[in-house]
Chains A and B, each alone.
Chain A
Amino acid sequence: MFVSNPFADLAASIPVDVMQWYVVLMFLAVVGGTIFDVIHKKSGKYFFDKAKAAEAARTRELNSGDKMNIAVQTALVDVATSAEFCNPHRRIAHLMTMYGFILFILTTIALVFAYPTHAAPGIVSLLWHLSALSVMVGGYWFWFVIRVDISAEGNPCYKLVKADLFILSLLGTTTFGFLWSVGQSMGGGSITNLLLALFLISSTTLFCGVIWSKFAHMFFKPAAAYNKRIVKADGSMENMPEIGDLSDKALQERFPDIPEYLGTNPPNMGLGIKREAPRHY
């Protein structure tokens, strides 16, 4: 079931050109929506203005090698492992959703453009189904349990807001796509056609709704993570204080309360309020 190519069967009723043009149009919608989003919300301008304003507060000058090193660290740590999230459950759910979605897109492109009318290699179809499942597990976990509207605000899960447009259309795309494929491998029928229609409506909403949804965070958040590392490295710190090494003699002389109350080699005091999840609504 999971090694069959669902798009090959679809080619019998929908021309291959139409399928391929749909994928191209969705790609253009994402590119156009993201550029419009950056211009309309002035997020690019915000970053450049902020960087310029922080110039006076810099204590170290970074060369291009340092910046490249920070960019690699951002890609490897903040982007590839979603290190920003302090809640480990949220981080795992995000990783499942993110990698599932990337794989879902890549395998969909492979199936639609390389194997539109015939059976694809089993591994490609298998990865298409597994990636959809990965998005579903991570996404529903987030939607029903982790979502801050539920965990911190105490709202019921059925209370929808505009911020749900992205996650719901993403879950709709993968869920209906997966169920449509399963229905097709079981012989098709009117329910399978309905699932196909829902799959297309969800994916069109997902890719064409960039300016109304948080789809653009895929491009926006890495820039924010990079900026966060840059301000730390160049010492501007966005006016944040720097704590440093508490066992350092010079620091202890400057702040004598540290050795007096914490000792000359202060221990790790544990997680503090982060020992509990923020769900005391």
Chain B
Amino acid sequence: MPTFVYMTRCDGCGHCVDICPSDIMHIDKTYRRAYNIEPSMCWECYSCVKACPQNAIDVRGYADFAPLGHSVRVLRDEEKGVIAWRIKFRNGEKDLNLIAPITTKPWGESIPDLKKEKAPTQEQKDSQLLYSEPKYIRMDDGDIHTFESNGLKMKQGVAY
């Protein structure tokens, strides 16, 4: 299920309109508040949820894997450089708070100057790795994070 806006919180600043990659967050013509014009096209990227300075946007999870009554809310505090998630289960008993850093340096001060980077070697060009892709996300590098290293076996196309 897609994003929706708490009208009492929205002040119509336009941050969600600006950031939505699907261009489906727009301003209501009657109340001048944000709303999702095409819920079926929302891929729940949470960009607008995190960008909203009033925390006025929320997301309903798909009912097949997140039964109604649960809550997943996020708070992105850029000045502190962290993002916090709160996941509340439908039964109200399990309530998780998670905080993680989203930057290690002040915003806008450490933008890499790609013009000064060395041109890629032929070996890098032939490689399937993307530019500056960390090797540890590869599934076949040094047996890190492979099915085998995690003791999993493929059975009928599914790793158990």
Interface residues of A, Cβ cutoff 8 Å to B: 43, 46-47, 56, 84-87, 90, 147-149, 151-153, 161-163, 214, 220, 224, 227-228, 237-243, 246, 251, 255, 257-258, 261-262, 266-275, 278-281
Given contacts A151-B14, A153-B27, A268-B79, contact A243 B51 (CB under 8 A): no
Distance, CA A122 to CA B157, complexed state (A): 88
A-B Cβ contacts below 8 A, count: 144
Q: Is the CB of A243 within 8 A of B18?
A: no
Contacts of A271 in B (CB 8 A): 78-79, 107
Q: Could you pull out 13 A-B pairs where Cβ atoms are within 8 angstroms?
A: A152-B13, A152-B17, A238-B73, A240-B86, A241-B98, A243-B99, A246-B80, A251-B99, A257-B101, A261-B104, A266-B82, A270-B79, A273-B15
Given contacts A227-B8, A241-B85, contact A214 B75 (CB under 8 A): no
**Which residues of chain B (100-114) have a CB below 8 Å from chain A?**
100-101, 103-109
Q: Is the CB of B78 within 8 A of A269?
A: yes
CB-nearest residue of chain B relative to A94?
A: B11
Size range of the interface on B? 35 or more
Contacts of A278 in B (CB 8 A): 13-15, 17-19
Distance, CA A85 to CA B88, complexed state (A): 29
Going nearest first, the 3 A-B pairs with the smallest beta carbon separation are A152-B14, A272-B78, A278-B18
Q: Is the CB of A56 within 8 A of B92?
A: yes
Given contacts A153-B26, A269-B107, contact A262 B101 (CB under 8 A): yes
Contacts of A242 in B (CB 8 A): 84, 86, 97
